[in-house]
Amino acid sequence: MTDSLDRRIHAQQVCLLYAQAPMGFIPSVLIAPILTLILWDVIPHQVLLIWLALLETTLLIRIALTVAFQRCPPVDHDPVRWATRYIIACAASGVCWGGTVILLILSPSLVYDTLIALIIGGVLMGGVLTMTPVLNAYLAYALPLVLPPVLWLLLQDDLIRTTMGVTGILYLLLAVGTAHRYHQTLTQSLRLALSNGELAQSFAVAKEQAEDHYQRLVEALAQEERLSATAQKQQTLLAHASRLNTLGEMASGLVHEINQPITAINLYTEAGLARLRNQASAPAELRETLEKIAAQSARASAIIQKIRSFARQGKPQYAQVHVHELLDEIADFLNLEVRRHAIRISYDASPELPLVLADGLQVQQIILNLVRNAIDAMSTGQRDARIIVISARSDQKVVEIAVKDTGTGLDPDTVSQLLHPFFTTKPNGLGLGLPISQTIVEAHGGRLWATANSGAGATFHFTLPTASCADHSEYPVLSATINEQS
Ligand code: ADP
């Protein structure tokens, strides 16, 4: 990580070196020709021209390198190689500038010496700005540039020239110190900029990941919603299938129940017709017979109506309902079933109980299922001891409905498996009644459980949330009903 950062910093430094290179060409392009012109009359032309030619050659090399670097696509940049090339070119340029020592040697007077020394000092300082991105480039340039003239000046028996040499050494130290400082500051800035860049990049990556996770979460939620909708649909279908199954099992009892009024209707009709034939009947008697027929027909139609509504299929219709009203509505079915098995049934649900939040049909299905199980459990017991008690009581939050029988009761092994799908002890049982009842109760926000009675038999309990405590947001149909009512 640090290695890669250092490499990237170095690459940036090399880029800066080449970017600033054109400014560094000024001494060779302007100052060297001017110096040549000034010294033209006092120093042999040949020497001057050779010096200038060599210097300009190094300039051309630096220009060529710079152009090549600019044209080279960034991916091909090999910073170390490009730095080395430029360092060599700088060293060559420095050596040529250091060649001014010859000009000093040939210089006719102190004035010219001073001018040359001044120009060397300027060129030395100018390099600080342009070459320090790569410190070695500056050192390779500055040392050969300064040392030969300075050493020559120091070696002269002349106080002024020696002083100029000493000053040259001081300038060199100052320039190298400044270059070092500038280089370090630049490195720090680059490190900070690149680290921030990395940070911003990692933020961007983290943001992208977070967005990706969010997207997946949304998809997962949508999937879960779809699954839950499918599960709810399946539960509704299962509950419906179970109701149809119950009706199928009750078919003989129901047929008997419908047959009774139909038989009565037949009898009353025949009696009425006989009276009409004999013309013995007064209109009042005929009206009475017709009223009896109408009553029996209404009875038959009420039972058919109940069967139809019990068999209906549809989404759960949550509403605020009274438990005792639900029991009244299903009582016909329950009474029919217990009568067939010579079992007594009693109801204990006060109208004072709080309203519950429920789909009435599904709750009736649970009660019917529990009563039919109770009947099955009492099929072998003593006839006069057979009784089912359906009761309801409440605390603030729930209404608890219990179906108590005096049947075989529950052994511990049965209790632990009661709610498992397909667990049954009956020869023709499906083992689905209780699991379906439990699913319905849980969908209402309640729970279903069984307890053994202190005497004979068992009691099955389930709870429904009272309308004031139920979570209305979970039951959209119900909320609509409540809004309509309020
Ligand atoms: P099924 O009635 O088809 O067997 P259920 O899920 O309704 O399916 O009941 C599962 C089992 O629970 C029954 O077979 C029976 O063993 C036991 N059970 C249910 N109700 C009672 C009860 N009132 N008394 C004793 N056992 C019961």
Residue with CA nearest ligand 1 atom 13:
424
d(CA 214, CA 216): 5
Instruction: Identify the pLDDT of residue 428.
Output: 84
Instruction: Identify the pLDDT of residue 483.
Output: 39
Instruction: Identify the pLDDT of residue 311.
Output: 82
Contact (CB, 8 A) for 140 and 94: yes
Residues 298 and 326 in one domain: no
Using the Cα atoms of residue 449, residue 454, residue 458 and residue 462 in order, give the sign of their dihedral: negative
Domain annotation covers residue 218:
yes
d(CA 17, CA 181): 16
Residue 254 C-alpha to ligand 1 middle, in angstroms?
22
Residues 324 and 343 in one domain: yes
Domain final position from 268, 287, 311: 311
DSSP SS3 for 347 = strand
Residues 287 and 359 in one domain: no
Q: CA-based diameter of the chain, in Å? A: 171
Residue with CA nearest ligand 1 atom 14:
424
Domain annotation covers residue 167:
no
Alpha-helix runs per DSSP H in 378-432 = 412-417
Residues 433 and 344 in one domain: yes
Helix (H) or strand (E) holding 391: strand 387-394
DSSP output for 118-183: HHHHHHHHHHHHHHTTSHHHHHHHHHHHHHHHHHHHHHSS-HHHHHHHHHHHHHHHHHHHHHHHHH
Residues 430 and 327 in one domain: yes
Counting atoms of ligand 1 from 1, which one is nearest the CA of 405? Answer: 23
Residue 430 C-alpha to ligand 1 middle, in angstroms?
10
Residues 305 and 335 in one domain: no
Domain annotation covers residue 90:
yes
Domain annotation covers residue 161:
no
Percentage helix, strand, coil for the chain under 3-state DSSP, each rounded to 5: 75, 10, 20
Contact (CB, 8 A) for 336 and 257: yes
Residue 438 C-alpha to ligand 1 middle, in angstroms?
13
Residues 63 and 145 in one domain: yes
Using the Cα atoms of residue 194, residue 196, residue 197 and residue 199 in order, give the sign of their dihedral: positive
Helix (H) or strand (E) holding 38: helix 32-39
Counting atoms of ligand 1 from 1, which one is nearest the CA of 460? Answer: 23
Which tokens sit at 261?
Answer: 């009024």
Domain annotation covers residue 454:
yes
Crossing angle of helices 135-155 and 110-131, in 10° steps, is: 170
Q: Which residues line ligand 1 (CB under 6 A)?
A: 373-374, 377, 405, 407-408, 410, 414, 418, 423-426, 429-434, 458
d(CA 210, CA 464): 41
Helix (H) or strand (E) holding 461: strand 458-465
Instruction: Identify the pLDDT of residue 478.
Output: 44
Residue 175 C-alpha to ligand 1 middle, in angstroms?
100
Instruction: Identify the pLDDT of residue 1.
Output: 53
Residue 374 C-alpha to ligand 1 middle, in angstroms?
8
Domain final position from 246, 278, 311: 311
Crossing angle of helices 159-249 and 110-131, in 10° steps, is: 10
Domain annotation covers residue 168:
no
Residues 323 and 459 in one domain: yes
CATH code: domain of residue 442 = 3.30.565.10
Residues 142 and 259 in one domain: no
Contact (CB, 8 A) for 448 and 438: yes
- Ligand 1: residue of 243, 411, 424 to mutate (most ligand atoms within 8 A of CB) is 424
Residues 138 and 213 in one domain: no
What's this model's pTM, rounded to 2 decimal places? 0.57
Residue 315 phi, psi dihedral angles, 5° rounding: -70, 155
Distance of CA 416 to the CA centre of its chain: 39
Residue 470 C-alpha to ligand 1 middle, in angstroms?
29
Please give the chain's pLDDT, 486 residues, in tens.
Answer: 567 788 888 888 999 999 999 988 888 888 999 999 999 999 999 999 999 999 999 999 999 999 999 888 775 678 899 999 999 999 999 999 999 999 999 999 999 999 999 999 999 988 888 899 999 999 999 999 999 999 999 999 889 999 999 999 999 999 999 999 999 999 999 888 888 877 778 888 888 999 999 999 999 999 999 998 888 888 888 888 888 888 888 887 788 888 888 999 999 898 888 888 877 667 777 888 889 999 999 988 888 888 888 887 777 788 999 999 999 999 988 988 898 889 999 999 999 999 999 999 999 999 999 999 999 999 887 777 899 999 999 987 899 999 999 999 998 888 889 999 899 999 888 898 999 999 999 989 999 999 999 989 999 999 999 988 766 666 544 443 433 333
Domain final position from 103, 130, 155: 155
Residues 400 and 365 in one domain: yes
Instruction: Identify the pLDDT of residue 288.
Output: 86
Domain annotation covers residue 281:
yes
- Ligand 1: residue of 367, 372, 373, 380 to mutate (most ligand atoms within 8 A of CB) is 373
Q: Residue 30 belongs to what domain range?
A: 2-155
Q: What is the total count of domains within the chain?
A: 3
Domain annotation covers residue 172:
no
Residue 140 C-alpha to ligand 1 middle, in angstroms?
99
Helix (H) or strand (E) holding 387: strand 387-394
Residues 346 and 283 in one domain: no
Residue 379 C-alpha to ligand 1 middle, in angstroms?
13
Helix (H) or strand (E) holding 59: helix 45-71
